[in-house]
Structures are given as C-alpha cells and as structure tokens.
C-alpha cells in the first residue's frame, strides 16, 4: 500500500511541472540583441543591448569553451566579471520577466584585456626606485610612470619590453606613486597597477657623541633625515656589535665595554629601507679597571701596589684609604705606586685607569691589613724565681699576643687576648730573652718585635747546717748557685726576729735569746729580685740559766740548792765541787738536796739547765762556803748565883759562834769575842731546864741552826757555884 501511494505522488508532481512549462512558453519575453561587447578590465566584459519590453532583468553568459560564467543584471549595459584576462569569450544574453525567460541571443565574441602587471617596488638607494614585475600573458610591452604622491613635480613615464625599470635622480625619503600596465600586439593597454614607494632616506649628518664614563654608556645625536622613520646607531668593535634604534634624533647605547675602541655609524630607515651608513665616528671608552693587583709590604712601613697595564689607559691613580678614614693617592703613568704604611691598619686600595674618556670603572677593592703593632712598653710587674708577670699597653691591630721567653735552651710561651702574660715554670737566676709578638688572624704574627731581657729572681738557697759554738753564736751555712747575690738569713721566733747577711755561703748571728725556738730561713737577693725563702730549719737555743739560785745549808753535811726555772729547761743538774770532792744531783724540780758536804769548805756551785731536746746551758755561780763545823764538847759551868759559862771546842776552820739557851723563863743568847771558845750568860734564872745550842755564824751573819742541842738543868743549891746537870741531847724533830 505504501509503495503505490509514493508512485502516485511522483506522477502528480511531474504533471504540475509540465503544466508550468507550457504556461511559461506561452508568455516568455523577446530575445534581446547584443549591440556590442568589449573589455576594459582584464577580468570582465561589458555588454550593451537594446531594452526588451516587459523584461525585468537580463542574464549575461560568457563561455570560453571550458567554463560558463553567468551574471544577472537589471539593464544595459551589463558586465560579466570573474573572467580570465586576455581570453576570448562568446557572449549571450537572455531577457527575463515574470512570465519567464527568453531564448539566448545570438552570440557575440569579445576578448578580455591584458592583466595588470604585478609590481615589486623597492628603493635601492636614497635617489632611486626599482620597479619589477613578472611577464604578463599576451603582453608585448609595458608602460611605467612615476610621480610624487603629493602631486608636486612632473610625471616621468617610461615604456619598456623588459620586466623591470629603475627610476633615478629621485628625491631622498620621498613618497612616489608608480603606475604600470601592459599592452598587446594591437596596442590595446591592459589593466594598470598602481603602488606607492618611498625612496630610502639619506644617511644622517652632524653626528654628535656624548660618553658617560661612569655608566659606560654613550648618547648619540644627529640631524634628522628627510623621510626617515627610524634611525639605527651601530657601535662596532673587534669583539662586539651594539645597536640602538629610535624614531627621534638621539639614541643611547649602554653596556659598552671598557677599554674598547668603537666605530660609530648612524643609518636612517623608512619603509623603503635603510640609508647608507654615515661616516664613522671613533669612540674610545674608558680603560678597564687594572687587574692583577698585587700588594706587598716590604720592608714594614712601606706598601707597594702594582698592577697590569690596561688598553687605552693613559695614566693611573691609586687610592689608599686607611680604616681611620685617612686617604692618600698617587698619580703615575707606570704600573706601580709606593705608600708609607703604619702597623695595625687595614688599608682599602683601589686602582683606576684614566684616559680622555674619563675614569675606569671601579674594579675590585683590595684590603690589606698590615702586621699589628709591637708592644713597646713591656713592664714586668712581678719577677720571681720561676715566674714573670708582664703587662703592656694594647696595640693597634692585635687580636692576640704571643709571649715567648727563651734562655738559649728552652722556650716558654703563653698566648692571650689581653695585654698581660704570666710566664711560669721558668728557671731561677736565669736571663731570659722575652719577646711579645702581636698577632692578627689576617696577617699573623709581627715577627719584628724587639725582645727585652729579664732575669728571674735568684734561686732559693739551701741551708746545709746550723751550728752553735760555746759562746752561743749561731753559724748558718747554705748552698746556692746564684751569681752576685746577697743572702739574708732570718731567725724568727716569738722572741723576735734576728738576721745576718753575706754574699758568701755562711753568716753568723749573735745575741739570740736563750730558751727560744726559731725558724731559720735564707733568702737570696739580686737586682732582679728576691728568691723564695729556703726551706726553714728549726733552731732551738739553750735553755735559760735559772735566776735566783739559793744555797741553803740544811745540816752540817746537807745543803739545799733551789732556783727559779729558766725558759724551756726541763731538768737541771746541780753540782757542788771542791778539793774534797764533788756532790751532784739531777732533777726535774726547782731544787736539789746535796749531801756529803764537808763543813767549812769553799765550794764552786754550778747548775746545768737541760731542755727536752737535750740542749744544755752551763750556768756558773759564785763559790759557796759551807757552814763551819758544829763545835764539839759543849759544856755549861755555873758562874755565881745567876750566871753560866758555855764552853766548846771549835771545829776546823775559823768561825764565829753564837750561843742560845732556851728555857721556860726565856731565851738567853751570848756571842763570844773573836777567837774565844766560850761565852758567859749572866742573869740566868736557876732552877730551870735549858736547851743549849752553839751555832756557827756564817760570814753573812746567818746563824746556822743545824748543830746538835743539849739539855742542861740548872739547880738552885744556895752555893755560889751551883751544879749544872747534863740531861742529854734534845731530839730534833
């Protein structure tokens, strides 16, 4: 069913088309007649015809055997475009109305004109223009004309069969209009081609150069060139080419190289090209900063600065600025300068080269630190036997001080940042060469510092012996290795200080108090100072002799010796000595009983005081006379009623005697005349018992009471001579 319906619809459409064609054929307009067809432009043909009544438009057709090009136009004339140049076409036309279109008119032939040459225009120089083109189909010649684009001046026309043409003697930098066309064998011109071309400008004149030495750049200026759009400055050297461009009359080139000679040229350009370069101008830049700068200080205090020669350098200036702000300079055409320098400074050194262009750029700034100054006021504040302390004022540039002490065999060193040093472990009485070197991290040690000689204090003497003689003189002997030393020996104790001096190896001290303990030391002294004291040696003086020695006779054969104990005496030995013998006792007390004493004899009394260490002091005293012997045969005789005679036998040796009678009614004493051996007591009561004692009397008048006593009874018998009865000896308690 569907297939039948589609077939039916197709048939209906075909019938409608046919009906329409029939209706059109009946009302189509008349066929137009072409009056003429011609070509003025290479891609079109213009057709002229008589107007057809009722026609609303026309269809133009151009056929060259390969293609048909149709164009709808409204009326005559009409132009068919899009054609090929120099090509023969068959032209037809149809009139069109609302009822349809007519049949094609009888054809008419027409040929398109030659195509316009395609121009290539350039200005090879500021006064010429070169016009070039490719060959044009069917052309046998070309016509080219030129004139200023502003209409001024004349037109210059040239005919040629070539495909290029050069116009010369033109105005530089001027815009020209160029027109060209080709013609065929019939002399019919083709399409023309028009273009504008400007001649290139002339080279700029009056070039001026201004060089900035500090920035290493140059500014250039010139007179403007006619028709120039842009200017280019070229700076050419052996190693580089620098340019700058501008539309104005000045330009700057930076980043120039120092020590370089540039050839400067300026060219102008526009859309036609560039002019020839101007006459070259020479530009010499400043010299480069000198290199291979060497700085030496030899001898100290003289600074030598040297450098390598540089291109374009006429002379050199060296600036030397110290770190305290002082600056000096030297100007020379050589490659070396010398300056005075001071120790401990840092110098900042720069070298510049100069020429007419100015000063070279700043090169490297060198700093050179001279050796630190040497200390000059070294002052020893302490010199001992094994140590030297020295101080000095700080010096410029020193970061550290190295102190060395050398004696020819050994060296002692100390390093410190402060201006002081203590040299220890030195040898006594030794001359040292002491040098203080100043040191800085940059320059090291200043080895030119002057040494100073310092001798250490003398060595301590060694006491070898301390001896005493019989006169309590102290002799001190020592050993020492010092030269030209004076020795002082000191004995110091609680009793005071005693000294003796000598330049030898011994000295003597006198007058040291007894019973004292001393510490004995020796010190050596030279111009360099004093030694340390020697090791002390103890010294003990003999004990002091006792004072207040007393000899008391206890009995006829026993005496008591007593004394006041002297200092440091621990024991004593008492000795009584005579021609009859010696009596001695050793005791730690302050008295001693001596027996076996012979009466009536002169004794020498000595006492020895002995210390705990055994030191003995021999103490001598005056002689002692022992008491007279007690009398023998003492008897009493009655003298009258109240008197008694006492009789005795004197012992050996002369002596004085005293007689004492002790009774209940009193004590009766009598003293005989010298040489007598009896004594009378008168007025003595009878009828009493008396104790009778006859005592020797010492030279001092002291009565000795150690003789035996006898008891007698005196009776009263009435007679003149009474009886005296011996009653016996009295016991002494």
The predicted model scores a pTM of: 0.54
Q: Are residues 444 and 383 part of one domain?
A: yes
pLDDT digits (tens, 9 = 90+) for 77-89: 999 999 999 999 9
pLDDT at 624: 80
Residue with tokens 């011996």: 726
Instruction: State yes or no: pLDDT of 544 exceeds 80.
Output: yes
Which among 478, 433, 434 is positioned nearest to 459, based on CA atoms? 478
Checking 491-499 for CB contacts under 8 A at 24+ apart, the result is 491/518, 491/519, 491/520, 491/539, 492/518, 492/519, 492/521, 493/517, 493/518, 493/519
Q: Are residues 615 and 570 part of one domain?
A: yes
Which among 260, 160, 143 is positioned nearest to 213, based on CA atoms? 260
Residue with tokens 């003789």: 707
Query: In this structure, is residue 6 part of a structural domain?
Result: no
Residue with tokens 């120092």: 258
Mean pLDDT on 694-712: 81
Which among 142, 192, 146, 193 is positioned nearest to 170, based on CA atoms? 146
Which among 243, 251, 264 is positioned nearest to 221, based on CA atoms? 251
- The secondary structure of 238-250 as a DSSP string is SS-EEEEEESSSE
Residues forming beta bridges with residue 322, ordered by sequence position: 347
Q: Are residues 709 and 640 part of one domain?
A: yes
Instruction: State yes or no: pLDDT of 304 exceeds 90.
Output: yes
Instruction: State yes or no: pLDDT of 100 exceeds 60.
Output: yes
Domain boundary (434, 455, 476) is at 455
Domain boundary (198, 215, 243) is at 198
User: What's the structural domain count of the chain?
Assistant: 8
3-state SS class at 552: strand
User: Which tokens in the block code for residue 532?
Assistant: 């340390």
Tell me the pairing of strands 688-697 and 678-681.
Answer: unpaired
Given pLDDT bands bounded at 50, 70 and 90, which one contains residue 722?
very low
Query: In this structure, is residue 514 part of a structural domain?
Result: yes
Q: Are residues 471 and 451 part of one domain?
A: no
Q: Name the DSSP class of 516.
A: -
Question: What distance in Å separates the CA atoms of residue 201 and residue 172, rounded to the nearest whole number?
Answer: 5
Q: Name the DSSP class of 298.
A: -
Q: Are residues 467 and 427 part of one domain?
A: no
- Of 492-496, 568-572, 683-687, the range with the lowest mean pLDDT is 683-687
3-state SS class at 439: strand
Average pLDDT of the chain?
88
Q: Choose the most confident range, by mean pLDDT, from 174-183, 435-444, 699-708.
A: 174-183
Which among 492, 494, 467 is positioned nearest to 478, based on CA atoms? 467
Question: What distance in Å separates the CA atoms of residue 339 and residue 298, rounded to the nearest whole number?
Answer: 11
Which among 487, 490, 511 is positioned nearest to 499, based on CA atoms? 490
Q: Are residues 590 and 567 part of one domain?
A: yes
Q: CA 458 from chain center: how many Å? A: 40
Which among 497, 458, 448, 457 is positioned nearest to 479, based on CA atoms? 458
pLDDT at 681: 87
Tell me the pairing of strands 709-714 and 688-697.
Answer: antiparallel
Instruction: State yes or no: pLDDT of 723 exceeds 70.
Output: no
Strands, E assignment, 650-717? 656-663, 666-670, 678-681, 688-697, 709-714
User: Which tokens in the block code for residue 129?
Assistant: 């223009």
Q: Are residues 517 and 466 part of one domain?
A: yes
Mean pLDDT on 665-691: 85
At residue 105, φ and ψ (nearest 5 deg) are -70, 165
Q: Are residues 93 and 46 part of one domain?
A: yes
Which among 617, 622, 293, 304 is positioned nearest to 470, based on CA atoms? 617
Mean pLDDT on 174-178: 95
pLDDT at 579: 86
Note whether 245 and 252 are within 8 A (CB): no
Question: 489: which residues sit within 8 A by CB, 6+ positions away?
Answer: 476, 478, 499, 500, 501, 502, 507, 509, 520, 521, 522
Mean pLDDT on 199-217: 91
Which carries the bigger pLDDT value, residue 26 or residue 47?
Answer: 47
Query: In this structure, is residue 343 part of a structural domain?
Result: yes
Task: Please name the residue ranges forming H helices in 479-536.
Answer: none
pLDDT digits (tens, 9 = 90+) for 209-260: 999 988 889 999 999 999 999 999 999 999 899 999 999 999 999 989 999 9
Tell me the pairing of strands 420-423 and 688-697.
Answer: unpaired
Q: CA 498 from chain center: how many Å? A: 56
Instruction: State yes or no: pLDDT of 25 exceeds 50.
Output: no
Tell me the pairing of strands 241-246 and 230-236.
Answer: antiparallel
pLDDT at 653: 58
Question: What distance in Å separates the CA atoms of residue 404 and residue 414, rounded to the nearest whole number?
Answer: 7
Instruction: State yes or no: pLDDT of 721 exceeds 50.
Output: no
Given pLDDT bands bounded at 50, 70 and 90, which one contains residue 206?
very high
Domain boundary (507, 541, 575) is at 541
Q: Name the DSSP class of 8.
A: H
At residue 72, φ and ψ (nearest 5 deg) are -90, 125
Query: In this structure, is residue 642 part of a structural domain?
Result: yes
Instruction: State yes or no: pLDDT of 294 exceeds 80.
Output: yes
CATH number where 245 lies: 2.60.40.10
Domain of 62 in residue numbering reads as: 36-111
Given pLDDT bands bounded at 50, 70 and 90, which one contains residue 654?
low
pLDDT at 22: 45
First to last CA, the chain: 200
pLDDT digits (tens, 9 = 90+) for 503-536: 999 999 988 888 889 999 999 999 989 999 999 9
3-state SS class at 97: strand
- Of 180-189, 336-345, 409-418, 698-707, the range with the lowest mean pLDDT is 698-707
pLDDT at 728: 58
Query: In this structure, is residue 26 part of a structural domain?
Result: no
Note whether 61 and 104 are within 8 A (CB): yes
Q: Are residues 697 and 665 part of one domain?
A: yes
Instruction: State yes or no: pLDDT of 472 exceeds 90.
Output: no
At residue 596, φ and ψ (nearest 5 deg) are 60, 35
User: Which tokens in the block code for residue 249?
Assistant: 């009359």
Q: Are residues 447 and 389 part of one domain?
A: yes
> How many C-beta atoms lie closer than 10 Å to residue 427's C-beta?
16
Q: Are residues 391 and 342 part of one domain?
A: no
Q: Are residues 637 and 571 part of one domain?
A: no
Note whether 80 and 42 are within 8 A (CB): no
Question: What distance in Å separates the CA atoms of residue 684 and residue 646, rounded to the nearest whole number?
Answer: 12
Query: In this structure, is residue 30 part of a structural domain?
Result: no
User: Which tokens in the block code for residue 105?
Assistant: 């008119």
> How many C-beta atoms lie closer than 10 Å to residue 374's C-beta?
21
Query: In this structure, is residue 365 part of a structural domain?
Result: yes
* Cα Dmax for the chain: 253
Instruction: State yes or no: pLDDT of 586 exceeds 80.
Output: yes
Query: In this structure, is residue 727 part of a structural domain?
Result: no
- Of 94-103, 501-510, 637-646, the range with the lowest mean pLDDT is 637-646
């Amino acid at each position: 069913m569907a297939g039948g319906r589609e077939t039916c619809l197709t048939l209906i459409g075909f019938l409608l088309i046919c009906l329409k064609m029939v209706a059109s054929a009946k009302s189509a307009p008349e066929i137009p007649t072409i009056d003429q067809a011609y070509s003025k432009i290479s891609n079109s043909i213009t057709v002229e015809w008589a107007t057809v009544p009722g026609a609303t438009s026309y269809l133009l057709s151009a056929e060259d055997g390969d293609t048909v090009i149709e164009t709808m136009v409204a009326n005559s004339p009409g132009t068919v475009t899009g054609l090929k140049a120099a090509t023969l076409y068959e032209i037809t036309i149809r009139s069109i109305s609302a009822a349809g279109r007519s049949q094609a008119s009888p054809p008419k032939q027409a040929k398109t004109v030659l195509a316009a040459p395609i121009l290539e225009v350039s200005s090879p120089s500021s006064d010429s223009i070169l016009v070039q083109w490719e060959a044009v189909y069917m052309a046998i010649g070309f016509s080219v004309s030129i004139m200023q684009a502003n209409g001024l001046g004349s037109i210059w026309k040239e005919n040629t069969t070539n495909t290029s043409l050069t116009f010369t003697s033109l105005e530089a930098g001027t815009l020209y209009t160029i027109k060209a066309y080709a013609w065929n064998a019939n002399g019919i011109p083709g399409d023309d081609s028009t273009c504008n071309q400007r001649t290139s400008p002339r080279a700029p004149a009056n070039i001026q150069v201004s060089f900035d030495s500090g920035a290493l750049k140059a500014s250039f200026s010139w007179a403007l060139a006619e028709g120039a759009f842009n200017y280019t400055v070229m700076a050419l050297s052996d190693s580089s080419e620098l340019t700058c461009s501008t539309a104005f009359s000045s330009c700057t080139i930076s980043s120039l190289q120092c020590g370089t000679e540039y050839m400067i040229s300026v060219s102008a350009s526009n859309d036609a090209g560039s002019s020839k370069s101007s006459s070259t101008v020479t530009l010499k830049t400043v010299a480069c900063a000198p290199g291979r700068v060497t700085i030496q200080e030899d001898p100290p205090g003289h600074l030598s600065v040297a450098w390598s020669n540089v291109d374009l350098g006429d002379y050199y200036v060296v600036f030397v600025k110290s770190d305290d702000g002082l600056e000096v300079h030297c100007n020379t055409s050589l490659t070396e300068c010398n300056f005075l320098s001071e120790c401990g400074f840092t110098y900042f050194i720069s070298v510049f080269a100069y020429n007419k262009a100015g000063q070279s750029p700043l090169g490297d700034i060198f700093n050179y630190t001279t050796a630190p100054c040497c200390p000059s006021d070294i002052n020893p504040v302490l010199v001992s036997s094994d140590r030297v302390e020295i101080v000095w004022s700080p010096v410029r540039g020193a970061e550290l001080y190295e102190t060395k002490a050398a004696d020819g065999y050994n060296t002692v060193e100390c390093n410190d940042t402060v201006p002081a040093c203590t040299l220890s472990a030195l040898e006594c009485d030794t001359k040292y060469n002491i040098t203080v070197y100043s040191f800085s991290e940059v320059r090291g040690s200043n080895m030119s510092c002057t040494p100073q000689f310092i001798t250490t204090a003398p060595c301590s003497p060694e006491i070898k012996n301390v001896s005493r003689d019989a006169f309590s003189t102290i002799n001190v002997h020592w050993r020492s290795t010092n030269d030209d030393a004076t020795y002082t020996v000191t004995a110091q104790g609680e009793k005071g200080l005693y000294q003796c001096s000598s330049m030898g190896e011994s000295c003597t001290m006198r007058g040291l108090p007894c019973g004292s303990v001393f510490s004995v030391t020796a010190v050596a002294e030279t111009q360099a100072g004093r030694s340390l004291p020697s090791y002390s040696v103890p010294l003990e003086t003999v004990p002091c002799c006792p004072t207040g020695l007393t000899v008391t006779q206890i009995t006829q054969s026993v005496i008591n010796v007593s004394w006041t104990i002297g200092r440091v005496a621990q024991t004593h030995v008492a000795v009584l000595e005579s021609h009859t013998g010696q009596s001695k006792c050793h005791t730690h007390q302050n008295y001693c009983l001596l027996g076996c004493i012979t009466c009536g004899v002169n004794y020498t009394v000595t006492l020895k005081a002995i210390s705990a260490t055994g030191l003995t002091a021999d103490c001598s005293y005056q002689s002692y006379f022992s008491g007279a012997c007690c009398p023998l045969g003492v008897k009493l005789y009655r003298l009258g009623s109240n008197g008694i005679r006492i009789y005795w036998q004197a012992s050996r040796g002369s002596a004085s005697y005293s007689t004492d009678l002790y009774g209940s009614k009193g004590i009766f004493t009598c003293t005989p005349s010298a040489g007598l051996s009896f004594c009378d007591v008168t007025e003595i009561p009878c009828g009493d018992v008396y104790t009778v004692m006859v005592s020797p009397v010492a030279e001092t008048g002291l009565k000795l009471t150690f003789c035996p006593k006898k008891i007698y009874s005196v009776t009263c018998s009435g007679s003149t001579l009474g009886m005296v009865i011996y009653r016996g000896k009295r016991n002494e308690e």
